Structures are given as structure tokens and as C-alpha cells.
């Protein structure tokens, strides 16, 4: 079933293409405009603003807490009735070291606050936190898709794998446009979006 959207698209493949094109342009705008730098690091509010920025032209639920329960395979994300409390707990988690930031990221993934687009928004949120707190970001093009997905799947039980994987890909090139753009392309590639490349899109 195709998600209800503002574009009036009823074909799921067409919606996926338009979602990728529009939200990647918005991701570029998020970086180029400097808006990302005005947001507080590590809060749910910031994640919601990133999500709304990326998907607001496509979905009316952008930036809003999901209203239904979600599962992926055999894993069930935080039930709706506990979601607000979980997000409050996550917000209060410390974020002054790499390990602490990764633990916060893993917990936010378990919360999965939005109906769609959680992973893509949360990876920008993670980099924003790393940049603010430690002066580093992840060079996502150095992170293998299958290794990442498997490590994230196991992370709620044991997070040492995802910590190790992402620690190997850290860079201090925090304001490098190319690192950011390639990172967005890889982030979308993890989710199966590969039609458009950031370098071919312009937000102007």
C-alpha cells in the first residue's frame, strides 16, 4: 500500500523516486543554508526538525510522532504508549564521548519515532551530535551497507559491533561538502534509494 502523501502519488515506485529526489534536495539545503548548525545537539526536537525539513513537502506526518506501532522483521520498536517516555529518557542520556553518543543513537533507533524516514534522519542527527560534541563526523561511504545493517540489527542487544564499525569511519572533515553529500547518498543507499545522486541535484 502506498503511503498517503502530499504529492497525490498512488504508485509506490513513483513515490519512492520522488521521495528520494525531493528529500535529497532538502538534505543539501539543510547543509548549505546553515540551518543544521542552529539546532541543539542530541535532542528529539532537533531530530523532529531534521525529519520535517527532509520530508515536509512529501508527508503530512513529517516531524510528528507516529501514531501506530512499528516492527521490522521480528523486532518491535518502542510501543506508541511508551514512546514519549522513551524519548524523554533518550534526551537525558549523556553525550560527551563517542561511546555515549553511539548509545544514544542506538536507543533512538529502537524508539523509531516516525512513521517513515527514521534511519535517514537519525544518521544526520548522529553526525550533528558528533560534530558538536567531538568535532568529528562519520564518513559513511567507508561503511559497508550489509555490515551496518547487521550491526544495527544486533545493536539493541550488543552495541559493541556498531561502535567499532562507525569508529573506523570517523573523520574531522566536519564541514566538507563532499563528505556530507556522499554520506547522504550512502545513507539513502542503505535504505534502497539509489536513483539520484546528491551531486546531480541542486536546491537553488
The CATH number covering residue 69 comes to 1.10.3290.10
Residue 7: inside a domain, yes or no? no
Q: Assess if residue 204 is contained within a domain.
A: no
pTM: 0.97
> Which residue segment(s) compose the domain that 54 sits in?
12-199
Q: Is there a domain that residue 1 lies in? A: no
Q: pLDDT digit string (tens) for 65-123?
A: 999 999 988 889 999 999 999 999 999 999 999 999 999 999 999 999 999 999 999 99
pLDDT value at residue 204: 53
Q: Which residue intervals of the chain are DSSP H helices?
A: 12-32, 44-55, 80-91, 98-111, 118-134, 145-154, 160-167, 177-190
Domain assignment of residue 44, yes or no:
yes
**Residue 191 included in any domain:** yes
- Phi and psi at residue 170, to the nearest 5°: -75, 145
Give the count of domains, the chain: 1
2 belongs to a structural domain: no
Using CB atoms within 10 Å of the CB of residue 180, give its burial: 0 to 12 exposed, 13 to 18 middle, 19+ buried.
Answer: buried
For 204, the grid coordinates are: 537553488
Regions of the chain with pLDDT less than 50: none
What does the chain come to in residues?
204
> For strand 170-171 and strand 71-72, is the pairing parallel, antiparallel, or unpaired?
unpaired
- In terms of Cβ atoms closer than 10 Å to its own Cβ (0-12, 13-18, 19+), residue 139 is buried
Tell me if 4 is assigned to some domain. Answer: no
Residue 6 included in any domain: no
The angle subtended at Cα 164 by Cα 172 and Cα 112, nearest 5°, is 90
**Full DSSP string of 113-157:** -SSS-HHHHHHHHHHHHHHHHHS-EE-GGGS-HHHHHHHHHHTTT
Amino acid at each position: 500500500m502506498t503511503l498517503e502523501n502530499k504529492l497525490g502519488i498512488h504508485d509506490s515506485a513513483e513515490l519512492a523516486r520522488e521521495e528520494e529526489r525531493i528529500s535529497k534536495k532538502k538534505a543539501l539545503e539543510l547543509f548549505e543554508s546553515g540551518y543544521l548548525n542552529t539546532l541543539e545537539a542530541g535532542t528529539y526536537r532537533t531530530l523532529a526538525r531534521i525529519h520535517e525539513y527532509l520530508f515536509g513537502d512529501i508527508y503530512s506526518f513529517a516531524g510528528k510522532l507516529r501514531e501506530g506501532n512499528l516492527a521490522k522483521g521480528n523486532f518491535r520498536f518502542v510501543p506508541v504508549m511508551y514512546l514519549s517516555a522513551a524519548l524523554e529518557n533518550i534526551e537525558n542520556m549523556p553525550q560527551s564521548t563517542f561511546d555515549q553518543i553511539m548509545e544514544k543513537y542506538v536507543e533512538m533507533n529502537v524508539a523509531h519515532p516516525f512513521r517513515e524516514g527514521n534511519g535517514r534522519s537519525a544518521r544526520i542527527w548522529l553526525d550533528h551530535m558528533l560534530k558538536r560534541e567531538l568535532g568529528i563526523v562519520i564518513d559513511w561511504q567507508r561503511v559497508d551497507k550489509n555490515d551496518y545493517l547487521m550491526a544495527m540489527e544486533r545493536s539493541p542487544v550488543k552495541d559493541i559491533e556498531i561502535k567499532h564499525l562507525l569508529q573506523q569511519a570517523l573523520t574531522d572533515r566536519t564541514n566538507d561538502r563532499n563528505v556530507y553529500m556522499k554520506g547522504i547518498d550512502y545513507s539513502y543507499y542503505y535504505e534502497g534509494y539509489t536513483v539520484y545522486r546528491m551531486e546531480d541535484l541542486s536546491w537553488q
